Structure 1
């Protein structure tokens, strides 16, 4: 399974305020859609992406979003990191194929309630 299909990359880039196809401004949390979710099937880590930018030199993709691991935090993570991560049983990260986009503020509320 491909972690980042081209159509998903384009959607994520369209939410990057600095990308030519982006909104041209910082989005509020109630505007930012969480478009992708990745998880470790054999560990307790989940990554949610709001936007993406591709490094021209390396081709690697940097995401902005929410990471739920040791704690829940907003920040940046790389596609190459997701490709390298393995859980306790050595299983790779998978993309949630059934993920339904929600706003970042709603996801954060859900995570706070679950904590």
Structure 2
């Protein structure tokens, strides 16, 4: 199963396209066991993403691999899921809510 459908991927900016923006849009939220990955940009090959990561240890902006997080299984043996109800949201609003 594809974690991010093509119809959503086509709207996500490529890496570095939003680096000059003060408050870029988050397009996708992925989650698993207290972790959330909010995607603002992705690479041409769709593996490397840039975004906001929230974990039990804190939160930060950074790069992450979709392939690597898809391989992770949570405490109940379930993998990473996409929040199907998440709508594109400015980074500042996501930061306030997390």
Q: Contact 1:63–1:78 at 8 Å: present in 2 too?
A: yes
Q: TM-score, normalised by structure 1?
A: 0.74
Over 2 Å off, 4+ runs: 13-16
Q: Which runs of 5+ in 2 are unaligned?
A: none
Q: Where does 1:1-115 land on structure 2 (aligned, <5 Å)? A: 1-13=1-13, 16-17=16-17, 26-30=19-23, 32-40=24-32, 43-55=33-45, 61-69=47-55, 70-111=57-98
Mark the structure with the bigger radius of gyration.
1
Structure 1's unaligned 5+ residue stretches are 18-24
Q: Residue 29 and residue 15 in structure 1: after superposition, are their counterparts in 2 closer, same or farther (change >3 A)?
A: farther
More helix by share: 1
Report the structure, 1 or 2, having the larger strand content.
2
TM-score, normalised by the number of residues in structure 2:
0.85
